[in-house]
Structure 1
Amino acid sequence: MLSVDDVLATRSGKAYDSDGDKIGSVGEVYLDDQTSQPAWVTVNTGLFGTSESFVPLEGARVEGEDLHLPYTKAKIKDAPRQDADKHLDVEQEEALYRYYGLSNGGTTHDGDRRDFDGRDAAAAGTAGTAG
């Protein structure tokens, strides 16, 4: 499981997909309300980083200032849009979990997700931003 400090260190770094392709820059970090652990991150995508996509941190890894995510670039770019400057409510978070093929406990149900190291980070409940 990634620590808050690990994920916050990536805020000046880049996000990469499961194939090693650059997606964009890391935006906001969202913590699980129940565990206070990092659960979601936004990635600035699109032309000139004009869009932000939510990505679950389950299975992600940090290398220096860069964040490597276990999803394809296309999957991340097509994620349902949510306001990145607000707290995720239960319905929004459930929609994102469904999109990424995860249950609220981090169980995968989707072939587009590629786990890097098999870690199982439970991310239940709603998520709020960190620092």
Structure 2
Amino acid sequence: MVNMQELQHIMEQDGNVVDREGGKIGKIGHVYLDDQSNEPEWVTASTGLFGTSESFVPLKGAVISGNDVAVTYSKDMIKEAPRVEADGHLSGSEEADLYNYYGLDYAGVGNAAGGPGAAGTTGAPKTVGPEAGIDETVRKEQIDTDGGDSRG
């Protein structure tokens, strides 16, 4: 499993999301943590014309490959995933839609209720951890990859 420390390092290196063969899908946008386990669960990749869209990609089965995150899905599949705003939090229904699209079992993943409508996933800042001086309350908010706070 890919951990937050590895992802933080890759994001600092402007890493990409790539397929297993190393084909670039897009630049890493945001990392989303499971609300219950606080573990990385999703990453967004810049897709679309000029990278103007962000597509959610599950980190299940992903591995670190140099300064990139290699996922088990094709670029075409990722580009066709349901569109969800990268606004800092996935609702239970948004998360369930994404799990369903990628053919993953949502029932046992990181929520106590075990199904749609339960706890969702929270966007993580680019830099996290005690060394970054970010406490858990800030960690629960999404901060864009340029380090700016997107809470408005």
The normalised TM-score by structure 2 is 0.71
CA distance, structure 2, for counterparts of residue 47 and residue 23 of structure 1: 12
Higher relative contact order (CA 8 A, sep 6+): 1
- What corresponds to 1:116 in structure 2? none
Where does structure 1 differ by over 3 angstroms across 4 or more consecutive aligned residues? 122-125
Is 1:6 the counterpart of 2:6 in the alignment? yes
- What corresponds to 2:24 in structure 1? 22
Amino acid in the other structure paired with 2:101: Y
- 22-31 or 7-16, which moves further after superposition? 7-16
Q: Secondary structure of 2:76's match?
A: helix
Q: Structure 2: which 5+ runs fail to align?
A: 112-118, 126-152
Amino acid in the other structure paired with 1:32: D
**Residue number among 66, 72, 87 corresponding to 2:89 in the alignment:** 87
Q: Which has the larger radius of gyration?
A: 2
**Residue number among 123, 130, 144 corresponding to 1:129 in the alignment:** 123
Deviations 1:83-102 (A, max 9, x none): 11230000000000000000
**Residue number among 10, 32, 35 corresponding to 1:33 in the alignment:** 35
The alpha carbon displacement at 1:64 in A equals 2.7
Residues 99 and 20 from structure 1, CA distance in 2 versus in 1: closer, same or farther, beyond 3 angstroms? same
CA distance, structure 2, for counterparts of residue 127 and residue 25 of structure 1: 20
Deviations 1:26-79 (A, max 9, x none): 110000000000000000011211110001100001123211010011000000
Amino acid in the other structure paired with 2:2: L
The alpha carbon displacement at 1:105 in A equals 5.5
What pairs with 1:114-125 in structure 2 (closer than 5 Å)? 122-124=109-111, 125=119
Q: Secondary structure of 1:74's match?
A: helix
Q: Secondary structure of 1:96's match?
A: helix
Q: Structure 1: which 5+ runs fail to align?
A: 107-121
- RMSD across aligned positions (CA): 1.5
Residues 55 and 123 from structure 1, CA distance in 2 versus in 1: closer, same or farther, beyond 3 angstroms? farther
